[in-house]
Structure 1
Amino acid sequence: MEVTEISVYSVDLPIAEGSYDWSGGNSYEAFEATVVRLRTDEGVTGWGEVATLGSSYLPAYPRGARAGIEELAGTVLGSDPTQPAVLADRLDRRLGGHPYAKSGIDVACWDLTGKVADEPVADLLGGRFGDGAPLYRAISKGTPAEMAERVAYYRDEGYQNFQLKVGEDPVVDAERIRAARAELDPEHLLDADCNTGLSQHEAVRLVREIRDVDVYVEQPCPTYEECRAVRQKCDHPFVLDEVMDGVGPIVRGYNEDAMDAVNLKIAKVGGLTRARAIRDLCTELGLSMIIEDSWGSEIATSAIAHLAHSTPPEAVLATTDFHDYNAVTTADGAPETSGGVMAAPSGDGLGIEPHEDVLGDPVATYS
């Protein structure tokens, strides 16, 4: 089997709540997703998706994903998509870095491999643990009262875990965290995600302000070194995200006791092939994970669900259902959520069926 055609789509994902706001003044009313379809000489089709959080958050942007796919198309065409690890190695040799540009291709290979094997991707990744993985709900940045109100709303919807978007000012952030925690019971998990928004001295002030609050602290500063310095002054469980983009940083962070948990984003590391390796390493090291992606619709959320559901429960801190944040539906067969848990689809491959009328015509085709 070999890939004979690559189709690339661009689709806007409007935010259902109106906007998504986080540190650094980042605010978007919609995110642009790049969807990849691989066709083979045997008529089997695979789908993948990557959606960056605009262009100023991570070193990734929507047009960059599509430019990367154009650069990689010659390597993908003629390759066997049912050997995703082999193709991932070839893509790395063809294009250094730019993992997000490779992610949609890699996920499409896993979707296609599952269809050929008549198995869901979760089974190929190791099998399903229990009924699913625990969800978190991201709470967009607002006033302390607004964020507490949204926490209470989603708590009543059945969510057990919450990620607050903070990282603006240590005093205001502390008020946000306290207001949100007041709406939760002891069994609820609260994660204060700074998204690199604080300087080292500001982050130290924040962790001192909230020393008595039951909360996780996630990636307060831009660099690993700054975060590690804050970690040494912090009594809270510590999560690293943006700087954890491969096996090397995971090993360094573990050896230097820089974190208790890792935020594993599929696109940030290049797709499910690399994410599986990092997932397995973290599991062996006893590091918990938030398993997700940078953003996405039903296609990306399905990949998240398959990876999270096939991870031992003790290693999963939380996962997320990003398709529920959008005001548009790109595919049928999205992961099912109930009681704050998300289960991987049971169909072959990713288990989704894209709405090609929503995706529109391809913006590029390679054959």
Structure 2
Amino acid sequence: MKISAIHLYAIHLPLHVPFVVSYHSYDYMPSVIVKVETDEGIVGYGEAVADEHVTGESWEGVYQILKNTLAPVVMGKNPMEIEKLHDHMNKTIYGAPTAKAAIDIACFDIMGKKLQQPVYQLIGGRYHDEFPITHVLSIAEPEEMAVEAAAMVEQGYCSFKMKVGTNVSLDVKRIQAVRSKVGEEIAIRVDVNQGWKNSATALTALKQLQDCNLDWVEQPVVADDIDGMVEIKAKSVFPLMIDEGLKGPREMLEIIQKRAADKVNIKLMKCGGIYPAVKLAHQAELAGLECQIGSMVESSIGSAAGFHVAFSKKAITSVELTGPLKFSKDVGNLHYDVPFIRLTDKPGLGVDVNDEMMRELTVFHESVYLKEENV
């Protein structure tokens, strides 16, 4: 089997409401959908959702890398040979994990369809039956976040991820307001998205939150400050999760060696796709670290890919892939049994792509084909 064509669709995914984090406010999510065709007629879909603040990639840049750099190098290759494909991509361009993830995900979709198996059966088999879905609270005024949280509890949610990372005093009020509103039994995780910058500021905030019973605090300092995470972990009562500070195996090794976190947030867009994510999960498991599969707010395609990794690994104990729940329109049909996610046994990613919706959401698109002499 050979890759015979790659179609790129740069799309805008519309959100029900703006998504606000410490460094940006999104009115829609820019994404690149990759459709990979093979000479056997099997088609796979992948996705790239870039974040300049996390991997240094932009929506436009990812599109161009896929078109001009990665598509030509994987064209004519066997999508089943995933280790070799990653080697080709890594030798062709340094970094660019989000662009590589799109190719990787599409190839796994093809593999699953070829073998008539869901992707999770190709990477270890199903371990988890279901995961609870955590509702993500965008940054807003304390009372607004508290009211939203209370409404979501009424819908059955039992855990929240709070986005904070502005100034410490207001962030503390936000967290205290939500805890007061939902009571002590509801799980609250706090994601700072690097917003508190350094360990001194983070420790100031966490000292004021000691009575708030937080599950964990995620990435309070800038991504590269692994030593800052070490200091916070040593001086705080809360478990720490690292997100932006973990991209690939080198960062994972440093985190393990320095005991810089209690939990790691693996994202396919940060590490390069399903195959590298599985490697990171194994690396973490060897060190006794729990893992989460996190989100860049992908469509049904990218979210399904993350769920397949999560469902196959014992070390992955939580997920935060809620993109499709935030979109008013989506290109796929990933189904949530809110407040749970339970994957089907459909082959590949298990997602049907709506071509009409893809056309509606597409801003621009192009195709790359296998040249005749390579057939």
Q: Shorter-chain TM-score category?
A: over 0.9
Q: Which residue matches 1:176?
A: 174
Q: Which amino acid aligns with 2:63?
A: R
Quote the Cα distance in structure 1 between the aligned partners of 2:272 and 2:232: 29
Q: Which residue matches 2:191?
A: 193
Segment drifting more, 27-36 vs 146-155: 146-155
Quote the Cα distance in structure 2 between the aligned partners of 1:87 and 1:346: 26
Runs of 4+ in 1 over 6 A off after TM superposition: none
How far did residue 349 of structure 1 move?
A: 0.1
SS at match of 1:9: strand
Q: Structure 1 residues 291, 257: CA separation in 2 closer, same or farther (over 3 Å shift)?
A: same
Q: Which amino acid aligns with 2:289?
A: L
Gap runs ≥5 in structure 2? 370-375
Normalising by structure 1, report the TM-score.
0.94
How far did residue 252 of structure 1 move?
A: 1.4
- Residues 1:326 and 2:323 aligned together: no
Q: Which residue matches 2:373?
A: none
SS at match of 1:244: coil
Number of residue pairs matched by the alignment = 361
Q: 1:233 aligns with which of 227, 232, 235?
A: 235
Deviation string 1:165-211 (CA, Å, 9 cap, x unpaired) is 10111111111111112233544321110000113222121111112
Q: Which residue matches 2:271?
A: 269
8 Å contact 1:321–1:342 — kept in the other structure? no
8 Å contact 1:286–1:315 — kept in the other structure? no
Percent identity reads 27
8 Å contact 1:134–1:319 — kept in the other structure? no
Q: Which amino acid aligns with 1:205?
A: T
SS at match of 1:353: coil
Q: Which amino acid aligns with 2:62?
A: A
How far did residue 248 of structure 1 move?
A: 1.7
Gap runs ≥5 in structure 1? none
Quote the Cα distance in structure 1 between the aligned partners of 2:123 and 2:152: 30
How far did residue 138 of structure 1 move?
A: 1.1
How far did residue 48 of structure 1 move?
A: 0.5
Q: Which residue matches 1:101?
A: 99
Deviation string 1:232-260 (CA, Å, 9 cap, x unpaired) is 22110100000100112112112212100
How far did residue 359 of structure 1 move?
A: 1.5
Quote the Cα distance in structure 2 between the aligned partners of 1:295 and 1:85: 26
Deviation string 1:218-276 (CA, Å, 9 cap, x unpaired) is 10111223333222221101000001001121121122121000111111100001001
Normalising by structure 2, report the TM-score.
0.92
Quote the Cα distance in structure 1 between the aligned partners of 2:187 and 2:132: 11
Quote the Cα distance in structure 1 between the aligned partners of 2:115 and 2:73: 23
Quote the Cα distance in structure 2 between the aligned partners of 1:89 and 1:229: 36
Give me the CA root mean square deviation: 1.6
Q: Which residue matches 2:11?
A: 11
After the TM superposition, which residues 230-309 of structure 1 pair with which residues of structure 2 at under 5 Å, given as runs? 230-309=232-311
Q: Which amino acid aligns with 1:354?
A: V
Q: Which amino acid aligns with 1:162?
A: F
8 Å contact 2:295–2:320 — kept in the other structure? no
8 Å contact 1:114–1:120 — kept in the other structure? yes
Q: Structure 1 residues 150, 259: CA separation in 2 closer, same or farther (over 3 Å shift)?
A: same
Q: Which residue matches 2:127?
A: 129
Segment drifting more, 150-159 vs 86-95: 150-159
8 Å contact 2:297–2:322 — kept in the other structure? no
